[in-house]
Amino acid sequence: MALEKIVFKGIDIPGRTEISVYEDGGGYAQWKRVLSEKIEPNELIETVKASGLRGRGGAGFPTGLKWSFVPADSPKPKYMLCNADESEPGTFKDREILEKDPHQLLEGVLLGSYAIGANTAYIYLRGEFVKGWKMVERAIAEAREAGYIGKNVLGSGFDIEVWTHRGAGAYICGEETAMINSLEGKRGEPRLKPPFPAVEGFYKCPTIVNNVETLAAVPKIVENGPEWYGQWGTEKSKGTKLWSVCGHVARPGVYEVPLGYPAQKFFEEDLGGCWNGNKLKAVIPGGSSVFAMTPDEFFACNLDYESIAEHGSMLGSGGMIIFDETACLVEASTVIAHFYAHESCGQCTPCREGCGWVLRMFRDIEAGQPQPGAKDVLLDVMDQIFGATICPLGDSIVMPIKSMMEKFPEEFEYYIREGKSMVTGKTRLAQLAQPDKPENWRRGEPFDYPREQDYKTSFKGLAHDLSRGPEPLFTKFEDE
Amino acid sequence: MPTVTIDGKQVEVPDGLTILWAARKAGVNIPTYCYYPWFAPQGNCRICLVEVEGVGKLQIGCQTPVRDGMVVHTNNERVFKARRGVMEFLLLHHPLDCPICDQAGECDLQDYGYKYGFPVGRNRHLRRTFPKTDYGEKISKEMNRCIHCRRCIRLAEDYMGVHHIGMLNRGDHSEIGSYIEAAIPSGWAGNVIDICPVGALTDKKMRFSARVWDLEHVPARLKESAMKDPVKCRYGSEAMLGLYRGKIYRVTARMDEHRVMKSMICDEARFEHYDLDDWIIEEDADITTPVESGPRPARELEEMARKELEEEGKLNGGRVESPPPSEISSAPGTGMDLGRQTE
Ligand SMILES: Cc1cc2nc3c(=O)[nH]c(=O)nc-3n(C[C@H](O)[C@H](O)[C@H](O)COP(=O)(O)O)c2cc1C
Ligand code: SF4
Ligand code: SF4
Ligand code: FES
């Protein structure tokens, strides 16, 4: 079983974004075959089911099974939504497909729509993906010209229309029901489940939401059959997975490897270890929303859904974030908390109030002004968020931060006690005082923290206790 | 009919009932904020979390339907801790200004705060504050007290047919607001005061003039001769007077024991009749039976009244100048036909 690429197979072919090149590589052949042979939609669903393909957007739900939940006899129109709102920190695999191989995605969308009987498909793109959006739009135009999209496609009597929609910059719109709300023109806020979208989704009609990577794999599965796809991967996790690797690693990028690939081999051989030969400290394997792993846990696992879960984390979206020994996990936690506090939709109480509170407590710690018992309060507050929310975003702030606090307690305790980082020996305040030094930058931007808009309506920042010395430097940005 | 066990009490309840109502049938009260029988559950406040045996996460009582043989705990340590957490989050930025709040005494936040609140505050940060912007002349809006239950938004959309209030911003600086900081353009706007479980929306007329526990509450309806706008008042004046020493201090809708409104009252009845002579006292009105579903939306009430008044010949020229009923669009995406139940 040679290492073979499935989703990324044609991605490096020059001109792949053009329909002629894609067709030369066997593109749209499956779409034509399905339409001309009038293959039963059910047969397609069974094929995907048998292949063992699982959702690559985060939850890992079996795709064929999800498709089969669509009530076939429902008189309502059905919808296919492609989730291209890739906003999870550390995840950038879908972007590659959107920008470099939009036709393969489009064929997957068409096949999926046919399988569930949808005559309308939407591709919901992250607003920042301007290039990806242009590529997908062009691909749709080309496919329409070639007669693959439209009314009565290739004389088969099947109508299909594909639209793109660009998000307006909300992470939460990647959650499937929030995406549906957003498409309907409402606030992008998750809905209560059940009912699940497959039964009652877009405009209360049966709707399937699938990730870009999931759909991009479908044409290959239909082409080569489920057994072929099943030869990669493990018993329960079949096929290949894209890993977007970032952080302190020698060779960051997007990799396609079979599921069940040994993590140690992947890290040492494919990724070349940490940059500058540093020592590995922690790994968040599935985008920022999952538990962090220690090197021991990480090296012991294989890269598939079950094995990662067994070793204390989740596969998630496959956005692997590598921390080497120079990373301060307290500062990393602040960045993560900032992200979720910023992206919480504000619907349910624990996430709305809790995320902001966690962030402010971390800012206190970084300012050298933690409240008494800061670590216990933090852990307690996170427990109060966990599992009490409508959508998993509330859990997402807890999982990485709490696991880091539990697996690397000394670092947090040191920062709380000493007011400076155990790793770098610097305080955040000292770093902020020297904004022009690149090593003090965070997220690549000089001195962007805290940002003014975070405080627009409300916060005046830290409660300042004068007995604790001079006012922290950055309150001056918070007073309006 | 499924049989469920709630806190050790077995009850037989109709199919599809929620845990909340099953518990009420069993005599167990589950706290709620965002749930209101008039609307489909939205499940955003999370105070009604209960433990269902065999299910890992805590479930919300207001939405989860019962299954046969379900065993529910509404009062064990795990549930208490979760509710305490929710209370702590709700009070994180709350100004705790009960002594000067007109809602004090009939505030859900106070009631559950006593029951589930933390004895000490662990928040060491300044509280979030919002600038004060009212809804017009009659309705006082104090966003610092808001708990984001969104009952007011849903009332305005589903029952008044106006889309002028909504949630602005996101995350923990989201606030309820009207699009241009204006009054709510409806003759029924005052009902947001009654639907708000806390002191975020209060009656400006009664502001600081009485404490609710001093008031004597009497059900009453407006005399037909006193109505200026019978189209609204005909079905919009089944009210409750708040009396102190024989004087009217406020007019509200009638509420059941869970503080759910029996019906909406129109703004004329609420704000313009402070003379006892305008009212017929209805001592024997039913104000205890729990409300299980919403009334008719304002537009329908107005239409019904208009038709009846026409038949009775009471719509004498120019007398009724109420603006035409606000249009409720049922086009997809306007919130009316989606996920919301209306009678
Ligand atoms: C907060 C949150 C954010 C999400 N963001 C994304 C995303 O950006 N892209 C994505 O494909 N799925 C995202 N998901 C997962 C989707 O809800 C959904 O499970 C997925 O799109 C289903 O597709 P799949 O079955 O192909 O994985 C997110 C989920 C949550 C809870
Ligand atoms: S958990 Fe957070 S993001 Fe999800 S619905 Fe609740 S408030 Fe919104
Ligand atoms: S103003 Fe009152 S009713 Fe409206 S969301 Fe806030 S607390 Fe709820
Ligand atoms: S009452 Fe159930 S979540 Fe608010």
Domain ranges of chain A: 19-230, 240-324
Helix axis angle for A409-418 and A329-343, nearest 10°, is 90
Ligand 1 atom 30 nearest Cα: A175
Contact check, Cβ <8 Å, B86/A388: yes
Judge: A357–B123 Cβ closer than 8 Å, yes or no: yes
The distance of A202 to chain B (nearest Cα, Å) reads 10
Distance from CA of A177 to the nearest CA of B (A): 12
From the CA of B153, the nearest ligand is 3
| Ligand positioned closest to the Cα atom of B34 | 4
Q: What is the DSSP letter of B175?
A: E
pLDDT band, residue B183 (cuts 50/70/90): confident
Q: What is the DSSP letter of B258?
A: T
Q: How far apart are CA B87 and CA B89, in angstroms?
A: 5
CATH 3.40.50.11540 fits A19-230, yes or no: yes
Best probe residue, ligand 4, of B18, B21, B24, B34 (max atoms within 8 Å of C-beta): B34
Residue owning the nearest CA to atom 2 of ligand 1:
A175
For A353, residues 6+ apart whose C-beta sits below 8 A from its C-beta are B89, B90, B92, B93, B172
* Protein residue with least CA distance to atom 2, ligand 3: B196
Cα distance from B127 to chain A (closest Cα, Å)? 7
Here the tokens at position B275 are 């003379």
Which tens digit of pLDDT belongs to each residue from B248-271?
A: 999 999 999 899 999 999 999 999
Q: Which residues pair with B60 in a beta bridge?
A: B49
Chain B contact set for A384 (CB, 8 A): 81-82, 84-86, 88-89
Q: Which residues of B touch A388 (CB under 8 A)?
A: 46, 49, 58, 82, 85-86
Do B174 and A346 lie within an 8 Å CB cutoff? yes
For residue B65, how many other CB atoms are within 10 A of its CB? 15
Which one, of A198, A205, A179, A184, lies nearest residue A82 by Cα? A179
Ligand 3 site, residue B146, Cβ cutoff 6 A = yes
- Say if residue B53's pLDDT is above 80: yes
Q: Looking at the CA of residue B20, tell me the nearest atom of ligand 4.
A: 2
Q: CB distance A348–B43 less than 8 Å?
A: yes
Question: What spacing in Å lies between the alpha carbon of A117 and ligand 2's midpoint?
Answer: 31
- Express each pLDDT in B311-332 by its tens digit: 888 775 444 444 444 443 333 3
Q: Answer whether A80's CB lies under 8 Å from A180's CB.
A: no
For residue B58, pLDDT beyond 70: yes
A364:B89 CB<8 A:
no
Mind telling me how many Å the CA of B323 is from chain A's nearest CA?
28
* A411 Cβ closer than 6 Å to some ligand 1 atom: no
- Which residue in A158, A315, A329 sits closest to A236, CA to CA? A315
The average pLDDT across B204-231 equals 92
Atom of ligand 2 nearest to the CA of A346: 7
The reply to whether B129-203 shares the fold of B3-90 is no
Chain-chain contact of B92 with A357 (C-beta, under 8 angstroms): yes
Contact A384 B338 (CB under 8 A): no
Q: Give the architecture-level CATH label for domain A240-324.
A: Roll (3.10)
Which atom of ligand 4 is closest in space to residue B41's alpha carbon? 2
Ligand index nearest the alpha carbon of residue A191: 2
Distances (CA, A) of A382 to A203, A369, B85, B86: 35, 20, 10, 12
Q: Which of A182, A187, A189, A339 to mutate to test the pocket of ligand 2 (most atoms within 8 A of CB)?
A: A189
Position A238 scores a pLDDT of: 93
Q: Which atom of ligand 3 is nearest to the CA of B148?
A: 5
CB contact under 8 A, A346 and B172: yes
pLDDT at residue A438, rounded to an integer: 62
Cα separation, B86 vs B18, in Å, equals: 21
Give the pLDDT confidence of B166-177 residue by residue, as tens digits. Answer: 898 888 888 888
Which residues does chain A have within 8 Å of residue B333's beta carbon, measured at their own beta carbons? 184-186, 203
User: In chain A, which residue's Cα lies nearest the Cα of B81?
Assistant: A384
pLDDT of residue A426: 82
Could you tell me the fold of the domain covering B3-90?
Ubiquitin-like (UB roll) (3.10.20)
Search chain A and give the residue with CA nearest B335: A186
Cα B206 to ligand 3 centroid, rounded to whole Å: 19
How is residue A397 written in tokens? 């702030």
Domain positions in chain B are 3-90, 129-203, 212-329
Cross-chain Cβ contact B124/A356 below 8 Å: no
Contact check, Cβ <8 Å, A192/B129: no
Say if the Cβ atoms of A349 and B86 lie within 8 Å. Answer: yes
| Residue among A209, A211, A190 nearest A198 (CA) | A209
Rounded to the nearest angstrom, the distance between the alpha carbon of B20 and the centre of ligand 4 is 9
CB contact under 8 A, B89 and A354: yes
Residue B333 pLDDT level (bands cut at 50, 70, 90): very low
**Strands, sheet with A207-211, edge to edge from the N-terminal-most edge strand:** A161-166, A120-125, A79-84, A207-211
Interval between CA B288 and ligand 2 midpoint (Å): 35
The closest of A131, A169, A58 to A399, measured between CA atoms, is: A58
The alpha-carbon gap from A166 to the nearest alpha carbon of chain B, in Å, equals 17
Ligand in nearest proximity to the CA of A192: 2
Q: What is the pLDDT, as a whole number, of residue A417?
A: 93
- Determine the distance from the C-alpha atom of residue B122 to the mean position of all C-alpha atoms in its chain, rounded to a whole number: 30
Phi, psi of A333 (to 5 degrees): -65, -40
Is the Cβ–Cβ distance between A114 and A148 less than 8 Å? no
- Given this model, what pLDDT does residue B316 score? 59
Q: How many CB atoms lie within 10 A of CB B269?
A: 27
Q: Which residues are paired to A261 by β-bridges?
A: A303
ipTM of the complex: 0.86
B246 min Cα distance to partner chain A (Å): 42
How far does residue A266's CA lie from ligand 1's centre (Å)? 25
Which atom of ligand 1 is nearest to A60's Cα?
Answer: 27
Q: Do A352 and B89 touch (CB under 8 A)?
A: yes
Q: Top-level CATH class of B129-203? A: alpha beta
Ligand nearest the Cα of residue A57 is 1
Residue B55 DSSP label? -
pLDDT of residue B322: 47
- Write out residues in chain A with pLDDT < 50, as ranges: 1, 443-480
Across the interface, which of A186, A341, A462 has its CB nearest the CB of B125? Answer: A462
From start to end of chain B, where are the E strands? 3-6, 9-12, 49-52, 59-60, 71-73, 139-141, 165-168, 175-178, 201-203, 216-222, 239-244, 247-253, 279-281
Q: Do the beta carbons of residue A259 and residue A303 sit within 8 Å?
A: yes
Sign of the CA dihedral with B23 first, then B27, B29, and B35 last: positive
Q: What is the pLDDT of residue B170?
A: 87
**Residues of chain B found within 8 Å of residue A355, distances taken between Cβ atoms:** 171-172
Please choose from A390, A397, A399 the residue to mutate so as to test ligand 2's pocket, defined by most ligand atoms within 8 A of CB: A390
Instruction: Give the position, in ligand 4's atom list, of the atom nearest the Cα of B30.
Output: 1
**Which residues pair with residue B50 across a beta bridge?**
B59
Minimum mean pLDDT among B53-67, B117-131, B198-212: which range?
A: B117-131
Q: For residue B5, give every residue at least 6 positions away whose Cβ sits within 8 Å of its Cβ, in sequence order, or none.
A: B11, B70, B71, B72
Residue nearest ligand 3's atom 8 by CA: B149
